[in-house]
């Protein structure tokens, strides 16, 4: 499977209004499926926004509550779904991204490694402890959440150690730093010669205006699909064979010299 159709579900998240956000998400998932998308990518913490003071109340275990509802939506619409929610993980609460396949089966779990201090994540949430890579019919895929975008080491690990051809990222990235969003997304695609599909939220939530501009970027750094700053669904088909073409044309990975710059 070299061709993959991706829908980015750019939502205006309503702070702490889980049922309203779920209704918006399920409607956009259904629209994506009707448009023959293989996967719908939702924003970060799309069911609650950054209502972290009430994170303990919102959090659910994998397979239960909101996670079970996402699985049901995936199965009902025959579409894979990626996005992050608040997870109860033992006695901790995590910012947890999941990928459910079109049968509603859980295929990938990524708990956010880099917590965003500007939004007080470190005060309310626990850090993830490992990257998450998954094998799907379309190929090897790396998972990430928002602030992770500022840490190129994670994406390099996915690409160099595992050959990932696609990176999925869900975010709530403020409009004030929209220029960083675009530049960093393109950088991660160019330096790793892979596709990057990133969904952001939009509009005002909890006193912060989020930037939108969800986008899909190819291995050459070209933006092949992009949303504006309003709630919308953006869909595009990618050809993953382009990854190997880019890596053959400019053999960056073969020319790396970790012995020179990663030595103790």
For residue 243 the two structure tokens come to: 């990854």
> Catalytic: which of 87, 96, 146, 202?
146
146 catalytically annotated: yes
CB 85 within 8 A of CB 45: yes
For residue 206 the two structure tokens come to: 């909890």
> Catalytic: which of 14, 44, 87, 202?
44
CB 236 within 8 A of CB 230: no
Among candidate residues 15, 39, 264, 237, the one with its CA nearest the CA of residue 141? 39
For residue 50 the two structure tokens come to: 């950054």
> Catalytic: which of 112, 121, 172, 202?
112
Among candidate residues 121, 216, 229, 217, the one with its CA nearest the CA of residue 175? 229
Q: How many CB atoms lie within 10 A of CB 235?
A: 17
Instruction: Return d(Cα 9, Cα 25) in angstroms, integer.
Output: 7
105 catalytically annotated: no
Among candidate residues 10, 2, 39, 3, the one with its CA nearest the CA of residue 226? 10
Among candidate residues 174, 243, 225, 182, the one with its CA nearest the CA of residue 203? 174
44 catalytically annotated: yes
CB 158 within 8 A of CB 167: yes
Sign of the torsion angle spanned by Cα atoms 198, 152, 51, 168 = positive
Rounded to an integer, what is the distance from CA 152 to the centroid of its chain? 15
**Which amino acids are annotated catalytic?**
44, 112, 146
């Amino acid at each position: 499977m070299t061709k993959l159709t991706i829908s980015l579900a750019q939502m205006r998240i309503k702070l702490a209004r889980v049922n309203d956000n779920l209704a918006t998400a399920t409607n956009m998932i259904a629209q994506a499926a009707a448009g023959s998308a293989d996967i719908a990518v939702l924003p970060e913490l799309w069911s609650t926004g950054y209502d972290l003071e009430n994170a303990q109340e919102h959090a659910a275990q994998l397979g239960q509550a909101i996670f079970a509802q996402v699985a049901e939506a995936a199965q009902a619409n025959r579409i894979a779904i990626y996005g992050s929610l608040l997870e109860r993980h033992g006695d901790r609460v995590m910012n947890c991204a999941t990928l459910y396949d079109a049968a509603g089966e859980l295929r990938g779990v990524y708990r956010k490694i880099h917590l965003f201090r500007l939004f007080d994540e470190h005060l309310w949430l626990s850090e993830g402890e490992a990257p998450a890579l998954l094998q799907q019919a379309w190929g090897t895929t790396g998972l990430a959440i928002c602030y992770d975008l500022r840490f190129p080491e994670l994406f390099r690990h996915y690409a160099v150690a595992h050959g990932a051809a696609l990176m999925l990222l869900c975010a709530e990235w403020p409009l004030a730093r929209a220029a960083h969003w675009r530049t960093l997304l393109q950088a991660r695609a160019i330096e790793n010669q892979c596709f990057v599909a990133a969904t952001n939220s939009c509009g005002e939530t909890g006193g912060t205006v989020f930037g939108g501009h969800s986008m899909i970027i190819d291995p050459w750094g070209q933006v092949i699909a992009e949303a504006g700053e309003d709630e919308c669904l953006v869909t595009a088909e990618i050809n993953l064979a382009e990854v190997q073409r880019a890596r053959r044309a400019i053999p960056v990975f073969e020319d790396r010299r970790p012995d020179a710059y990663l030595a103790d």
